[in-house]
Chain A
Amino acid sequence: MTITNDLTAAAVAPAPAEESRGKKGGGALGRYLLVRFLLIFPTVFILVTVVFVLMRATGDPITAALGGRLPPDQLHERIHQAGYDRPILVQYLDYLGRIARGDFGTTLSDHLPVTHVLATYGAATLELAFYALVVAFLVGIPLGRVAAARRDRGPDAALRVSAILGYATPVFFAGLVLKLIFGVLLHWLPTSGRATTRNLITMKTHGARTGIYLIDAISTGQWSVVSDVLQHAVLPALALGLLTAGVFLRLVRTNMISTLQTGYVEAARSRGVAERRLVRAHAWRPALVPIITVIGLQIAMLLGGAVLTETTFEWKGLGFQLVQYLNARDFVAVQGMVALLAVIVAVTNFIVDVIAALVDPRIRY
């Protein structure tokens, strides 16, 4: 990953990379951040263009949504009103202009601006992604450490196989199995939704209404509501989190193994420092730095996984809503949401890269 990332960065911004190599200080960092920031724009532009071209290659969204249900003359009138009979280039420029102003379109089925849909359901997806990341950290990082410390022995082999198994299991199937075991057979946890209806109403009337249910529940001051919300979150967080945990496990394992072979660890080892202490005090922290870089890539994976997880658990977030629009054949909504997500992914990647550059001086070009 890092290899290809370096390559790309070098290909895109060769000049700063060359110049800054000899210098020290904030100039290099500043230039890197600027180049990285400017890269957001072509990225978003390309993705939005790809989505636009793909979506319009088939025809106009109104025919897709209403074709066959309206008489042809009414259909034509609707198409004309929405401007889908203009030349494609004009439509494209119009589309770009509106995106630049923050207008991602209005859904056909319920006439809501796409940005409004995002504001309504984004919090739920954010909450799910947060829980999943917590699970991934709690599971993946300690286990990666164990695997590295017990390299090539029993625990390591078992963990590697489970990591492959984790990769081979689609997140929605993992979700269904979790539901089956913990929800249906054991009756320990609820299988769908984000809270029971009664608690939903309590939160609506007494809570903070941020959309992030954990905050809303805490603000009601009732522990039963908080525990209900958390119980609903356990299975979706596990399903989505374990997928990411496998990635973290392998990454921490690899990094720790290579750190354990570096000169300074070797020096400590030759001074008689115990192997256990080498892992805990010497190789542990440096192995965590690359995780920050990888989280950027995980954001995209988490979003894709969230669409499937939300559908499995009827978690009413962006992914769940996206599937509703898909089934309603509301392609304006789909196009808008995908374009908006492209912006979010690009911006998050930028933020992650900035954090990585601040933490690890080697990343600055």
Chain B
Amino acid sequence: MTADIANLATPPSPEELALVIAPEHGPRWHRLPIVRQLRSSVGLQRGMLVAGLLLTGIFVLSAIFAPLIAPYSWAQLRDAHGLFGSQQAPSSAHWLGTTVGGYDVLSRVVWGSRTALLTILAAVVLSLFLGVFLGLVSGYFGGWLDRVLVVVADAIYAFPSLLLAIVAAIVISGGQSNLWSGILAAAISITVVFVPQYFRVIRSEVVRIKSEAFVESARVIGSSSARIMTRHVLRNSVRTLPLIMTLNCSEAILTLAGLGFLGFGIEPSKAAEWGYDLNKSIQDVTAGIWWTAVFPGVAIVLTVLGITLVGESLNDLADPRLRTRRAAGGGRKRAKDTVQDEGATNQPEDAR
């Protein structure tokens, strides 16, 4: 923050000063993570962040309140008036039509968000803990363990993640599965793919930080390795994690959908899953039945888009060099989109 002021060519405007000082003096809720970034953003970046938060908010709300929003259950085939019927066009009874299996599309799209959210949570927690732990140990202690882990992580990283996820899904669920084993299968498959990424990022940070003076002084006064690792190294090396985590979330949804699309989805009677519905709609599309494919697909796109926008904006805002600054004096001052920006954000796509 202070560096920001020093970098400015013109003296900081009152707004900008307020911005810098705000976290210390504003109301307590201004210091909450997302709120702070929202307040410090401006222009296109704020637009991206707001749009992302909005889409993500809708996704999370529909996942939590699925029973209230969805007109029917995900596996419901009939109501008081009899069977829904298969491949019915959108109507007042079924706003988004029905699938080839006779399910209500709207209900399955809404319930699908819950499956997606659960998968994200499980995948992120698993890969975060495992990746951070391995990266920390490997980077701090070095030696042969480090070399082996780096080679293993590289080998896995270079491999098509979907194929690895397929193999992992076979192991965990044997192909078909119910809600929890399906979610766990997807989550663990994604973890296998993501641990190397957390590992690499944390490890390179740890390698850099461990040669810093404060780590050495801690060692000199006799702190234990465990204490140095957790207190001094870990806390300074998690800076980049939020970005990877959001990317991890979008990747998790895409992998879950990909697995579902290939027939490794959760059975329709156990839970709703967007990828499975898309798989069942391949034949529909050829016959001109568009609603069974478009709505689950749009749900995936919007969810991933929302999370990715939040991640990209947070990444830009976290780096003073990339942050678009509020207009100071006359001309607009822009200092975003340097190489670091893309260097970090390119990662997810390469990994896919």
Nearest Cβ on chain B to A214's Cβ, whole angstroms:
24
Nearest Cβ on chain A to B280's Cβ, whole angstroms:
11
Report whether B286 and A42 are in contact in the complex, using a CB–CB cutoff of 8 Å. Answer: no
CB within 8 A of B304: which of A12, A151, A168, A251? A168
CB within 8 A of B263: which of A54, A58, A326? A326
Would you list which residues of chain A between 288 and 310 have a CB under 8 Å from chain B? 294, 296-298, 300-301, 303-305, 307-308
Report whether A165 and B301 are in contact in the complex, using a CB–CB cutoff of 8 Å. Answer: yes
CB within 8 A of A304: which of B285, B308, B339, B352? B352
Binary CB contact string for chain B from 6 to 34 against chain A (1 if under 8 A, 0 otherwise): 00000000000000000000000000000
Task: Let me know if A268 is at the binding interface, CB within 8 A.
Answer: no
**Distance in angstroms between the alpha carbons of A183 and B286 in the assembled complex:** 8
Would you list which residues of chain A between 8 and 59 have a CB under 8 Å from chain B? 8, 11-12, 39, 42-43, 46-47, 50-51, 54-55, 57-58
CB within 8 A of A179: which of B167, B279, B286, B341? B286
Task: Let me know if A152 is at the binding interface, CB within 8 A.
Answer: yes
Supposing A168-B308, A180-B285, A329-B175 touch, asked if A54 and B204 sit within 8 A by C-beta, the answer is: no
Report whether A42 and B300 are in contact in the complex, using a CB–CB cutoff of 8 Å. Answer: no
Most buried by B among A173, A294, A297, A312: A173
Contacting residues, chain A, for B158 (C-beta < 8 A): 43, 296-297, 300, 345-346, 349
Contacting residues, chain A, for B304 (C-beta < 8 A): 167-169
Report whether A55 and B171 are in contact in the complex, using a CB–CB cutoff of 8 Å. Answer: yes
- Chain A residue at minimal CB-CB distance from B151: A42
- Chain B residue at minimal CB-CB distance from A2: B343
Nearest Cβ on chain A to B40's Cβ, whole angstroms:
19
Task: Let me know if A107 is at the binding interface, CB within 8 A.
Answer: no
- Chain B residue at minimal CB-CB distance from A298: B350
Report whether A307 and B170 are in contact in the complex, using a CB–CB cutoff of 8 Å. Answer: no
Report whether A152 and B334 are in contact in the complex, using a CB–CB cutoff of 8 Å. Answer: yes
Report whether A326 and B166 are in contact in the complex, using a CB–CB cutoff of 8 Å. Answer: yes
Contacting residues, chain B, for A39 (C-beta < 8 A): 151
Task: Let me know if B294 is at the binding interface, CB within 8 A.
Answer: yes
**Distance in angstroms between the alpha carbons of A136 and B347 in the assembled complex:** 18
**Distance in angstroms between the alpha carbons of A301 and B309 in the assembled complex:** 22
Task: Let me know if B68 is at the binding interface, CB within 8 A.
Answer: no
Would you list which residues of chain B between 245 and 291 have a CB under 8 Å from chain A? 250, 254, 257-258, 261-264, 275, 278-279, 281-282, 285-288, 290
Report whether B170 and A58 are in contact in the complex, using a CB–CB cutoff of 8 Å. Answer: yes
Most buried by A among B162, B347, B352: B352
**Distance in angstroms between the alpha carbons of A90 and B349 in the assembled complex:** 39
CB within 8 A of A180: which of B168, B293, B308? B293
Nearest Cβ on chain B to A152's Cβ, whole angstroms:
6
Task: Let me know if B67 is at the binding interface, CB within 8 A.
Answer: no
Contacting residues, chain B, for A1 (C-beta < 8 A): 343, 346-347, 350
Task: Let me know if A321 is at the binding interface, CB within 8 A.
Answer: no
Task: Let me know if B57 is at the binding interface, CB within 8 A.
Answer: no
- Chain B residue at minimal CB-CB distance from A306: B160
**Distance in angstroms between the alpha carbons of A8 and B302 in the assembled complex:** 35
Count of A interface residues, CB-CB < 8 Å: 76
Nearest Cβ on chain B to A196's Cβ, whole angstroms:
15
> Contacting chain B: which of A72-80, A253-261, A274-282?
A253-261
Contacting residues, chain A, for B150 (C-beta < 8 A): 8, 11-12
**Distance in angstroms between the alpha carbons of A352 and B262 in the assembled complex:** 30
**Distance in angstroms between the alpha carbons of A47 and B349 in the assembled complex:** 21
**Distance in angstroms between the alpha carbons of A345 and B297 in the assembled complex:** 30
- Chain A residue at minimal CB-CB distance from B142: A11
CB within 8 A of A334: which of B170, B200, B275, B302? B170
- Residues of A whose CB lies within 8 Å of any CB of B are 1-4, 7-8, 11-12, 39, 42-43, 46-47, 50-51, 54-55, 57-58, 64, 151-152, 157, 164-165, 167-170, 172-173, 176-177, 179-180, 183-185, 191-192, 243, 246-247, 250-251, 253-254, 257-258, 294, 296-298, 300-301, 303-305, 307-308, 311-312, 322-323, 326-327, 329, 331, 334-335, 338, 341-342, 345-346, 349
- Residues of B whose CB lies within 8 Å of any CB of A are 44, 146-147, 150-152, 154-156, 158-164, 166-168, 170-171, 174-175, 200, 204, 250, 254, 257-258, 261-264, 275, 278-279, 281-282, 285-288, 290, 293-294, 297, 300-302, 304-305, 308-309, 312, 334, 336-339, 341-343, 345-352
Q: List 23 A-B contacts (CB under 8 A).
A: A3-B343, A8-B150, A43-B151, A54-B168, A164-B308, A169-B297, A169-B300, A170-B258, A172-B258, A184-B285, A243-B352, A250-B342, A250-B346, A254-B346, A294-B350, A296-B158, A301-B349, A304-B162, A304-B352, A305-B352, A308-B162, A338-B163, A341-B163
Q: Name the 6 nearest CB pairs between A and B, nearest first.
A: A304-B160, A173-B297, A254-B342, A304-B162, A168-B304, A168-B305
